[in-house]
Structure 1
Amino acid sequence: MATFGTLSRALSHRNARIFFGASLTAWTGLWMHRIAVSWLAWELTGSALWVGFVAFCDLAPAVVVSPIAGAVADRADRLRLTMLSQAAIGLNAALIAILVATGWMTIGLLLVLEVVGGTAASFAQPARQSLMPGLVPRADLPAAVALNSLTFNVARFIGPALAGPLIAVAGVWPAIAMNALAYLVATATTPMLRVEAAARRGHAATASLLGETLDGIRYAARHPGLGPILTFAAVAALLLRGVQEILPPYVERTFGLGAGALAVLTASFGVGALVAGLAVAARGRMAGTTRLAVLGVAALAFATAGFVATGWFPLGVLCAAFMGAAGSVHGISVQTVAQNASDPAMRGRVLSLWGLITRACPALGALLLGAAGEIFGLRWPTLVAVALSLLAVGWGLARLPRMAPELEGGAAGR
Structure 2
Amino acid sequence: MAESIDESGSQGSPIRAKKGILTKQTFAAFELRDFRLLWGNNFSYALVQGIQRFAFVWLAGDLSKENLVLGLVTFGLGISVFFLTLPSGVLSDRWDRRRLLFLSQFWVLATSLLTAILIWTGAMGVPMAIGMAILIGVGVAVGQPVRQALVPAVVPQNRLMNAITLNSLGQNVSQIIGPLIGGAAIDIWGNGGGFALQAVLMGIGLIFLVPLKVPEAERVARIGRQLLKEMMGEIREGFSFVKGAVDIRTLFFLLLASSLVIMGPWQALLPRVAEEQLGAEAFQTGVLFGAMGVGTVISSLILASIPRLENAGGWFTVTLITGGSLAVGIGLSHNYLLTVLFMFASGLNAGFFINLNLTLIQAHTPSDVMGRVMAIYTLVLMGGSPFGGLMAGGGAQLIGAGEMFALSGAAVAIVASVFLVTQPTLRRMPSHPEEQEERASG
- In the superposition, the TM-score normalised over structure 2's length comes to 0.87
* AA aligned opposite 2:314: R
1:273 and 2:292 matched: no
Task: Identify which of 281, 286, 289 aligns with 1:263.
Answer: 286
1:178 and 2:197 matched: yes
User: Which deviates the most, 19-28 or 376-385?
Assistant: 376-385
User: Could you tell me how far apart the structure 2 residues matched to 1:57 and 1:20 are?
Assistant: 28
The 1:406/1:72 distance shift into structure 2, 3 A limit, reads farther
Secondary structure at the residue paired with 1:225? helix
Q: Deviations over 1:164-202 (max 9, x none)?
A: 2221111111121111112122223312112232xxx25
The 1:146/1:312 distance shift into structure 2, 3 A limit, reads same
User: Could you tell me how far apart the structure 2 residues matched to 1:29 and 1:2 are?
Assistant: 34
Secondary structure at the residue paired with 2:423? helix
* AA aligned opposite 2:183: G
1:90 and 2:109 matched: yes
User: 2:53 — aligned with what?
Assistant: 34
Q: Shift in Å at residue 13 of structure 1?
A: 2.3
User: Which deviates the most, 237-246 or 404-413?
Assistant: 404-413
Q: Deviations over 1:61-83 (max 9, x none)?
A: 21222222211211121111111
Q: Shift in Å at residue 399 of structure 1?
A: 4.3
* Alignment of structure 1 residues 2-13 onto 2, 5 Å: 4-13=23-32
Q: Deviations over 1:310-334 (max 9, x none)?
A: 1011001111112222222111101
List gaps (5 residues or longer) in structure 1.
Answer: none
User: 2:7 — aligned with what?
Assistant: none
* AA aligned opposite 1:371: G
Task: Identify which of 353, 371, 383 aligns with 2:406.
Answer: 383
Q: Shift in Å at residue 240 of structure 1?
A: 1.5
* AA aligned opposite 2:146: A
Q: Shift in Å at residue 137 of structure 1?
A: 3.9
* Alignment of structure 1 residues 147-162 onto 2, 5 Å: 147-162=166-181
Task: Identify which of 259, 262, 265 aligns with 1:240.
Answer: 262
* AA aligned opposite 1:261: Q
User: Which deviates the most, 131-140 or 266-275?
Assistant: 131-140
Q: Shift in Å at residue 7 of structure 1?
A: 3.6
User: Which deviates the most, 241-250 or 301-310?
Assistant: 241-250
User: Which deviates the most, 22-31 or 315-324?
Assistant: 22-31
Indicate conservation of the 8 Å contact 2:27/2:166, yes or no.
no
Indicate conservation of the 8 Å contact 1:41/1:51, yes or no.
yes
The 1:218/1:137 distance shift into structure 2, 3 A limit, reads closer
* AA aligned opposite 1:59: G
* AA aligned opposite 2:159: D
Q: Shift in Å at residue 407 of structure 1?
A: 6.3
* AA aligned opposite 2:117: I
1:370 and 2:370 matched: no
Secondary structure at the residue paired with 2:246? coil
* AA aligned opposite 2:113: A
Q: Shift in Å at residue 404 of structure 1?
A: 5.0
User: Could you tell me how far apart the structure 2 residues matched to 1:395 and 1:22 are?
Assistant: 39
* AA aligned opposite 1:377: G
List gaps (5 residues or longer) in structure 2.
Answer: 1-14, 18-22, 222-226, 437-442
Task: Identify which of 366, 369, 393 aligns with 2:416.
Answer: 393
Indicate conservation of the 8 Å contact 1:157/1:266, yes or no.
yes
User: 2:64 — aligned with what?
Assistant: 45
The 1:300/1:26 distance shift into structure 2, 3 A limit, reads same
Indicate conservation of the 8 Å contact 1:69/1:123, yes or no.
yes
* Alignment of structure 1 residues 246-325 onto 2, 5 Å: 246=268, 247-325=270-348
Task: Identify which of 223, 229, 242 aligns with 2:251.
Answer: 229
Q: Shift in Å at residue 382 of structure 1?
A: 2.7
The 1:15/1:117 distance shift into structure 2, 3 A limit, reads same
Q: Shift in Å at residue 406 of structure 1?
A: 6.1
Secondary structure at the residue paired with 1:342? coil
* AA aligned opposite 2:328: A
1:190 and 2:213 matched: no
User: Could you tell me how far apart the structure 2 residues matched to 1:407 and 1:353 are?
Assistant: 22
1:169 and 2:188 matched: yes
User: Could you tell me how far apart the structure 2 residues matched to 1:202 and 1:226 are?
Assistant: 25
1:117 and 2:139 matched: no
User: Could you tell me how far apart the structure 2 residues matched to 1:313 and 1:409 are?
Assistant: 40
User: Which deviates the most, 202-211 or 276-285?
Assistant: 202-211
User: 2:88 — aligned with what?
Assistant: 69
User: Could you tell me how far apart the structure 1 residues matched to 2:144 and 2:56 are?
Assistant: 21
User: Could you tell me how far apart the structure 2 residues matched to 1:245 and 1:224 are?
Assistant: 30
Q: Shift in Å at residue 405 of structure 1?
A: 5.6
User: Could you tell me how far apart the structure 1 residues matched to 2:255 and 2:266 are?
Assistant: 16
The 1:389/1:196 distance shift into structure 2, 3 A limit, reads closer
* Alignment of structure 1 residues 338-357 onto 2, 5 Å: 338-357=361-380
User: 1:56 — aligned with what?
Assistant: 75
* AA aligned opposite 1:369: A
1:14 and 2:14 matched: no
User: Could you tell me how far apart the structure 1 residues matched to 2:351 and 2:413 are?
Assistant: 18
* AA aligned opposite 1:395: V
User: Could you tell me how far apart the structure 2 residues matched to 1:185 and 1:264 are?
Assistant: 24
User: Could you tell me how far apart the structure 1 residues matched to 2:67 and 2:364 are?
Assistant: 39
Indicate conservation of the 8 Å contact 2:325/2:410, yes or no.
no
Q: How many aligned positions are there?
A: 410
User: Could you tell me how far apart the structure 2 residues matched to 1:409 and 1:401 are?
Assistant: 17
User: 2:440 — aligned with what?
Assistant: none
The 1:338/1:109 distance shift into structure 2, 3 A limit, reads same
Indicate conservation of the 8 Å contact 2:314/2:429, yes or no.
no
Task: Identify which of 113, 126, 151 aligns with 1:132.
Answer: 151
Secondary structure at the residue paired with 2:296? helix
User: Could you tell me how far apart the structure 1 residues matched to 2:118 and 2:368 are?
Assistant: 42
User: Which deviates the most, 378-387 or 123-132?
Assistant: 378-387
User: Could you tell me how far apart the structure 1 residues matched to 2:382 and 2:256 are?
Assistant: 10
User: Could you tell me how far apart the structure 2 residues matched to 1:151 and 1:159 are?
Assistant: 12
* AA aligned opposite 1:304: A
Secondary structure at the residue paired with 1:388? helix
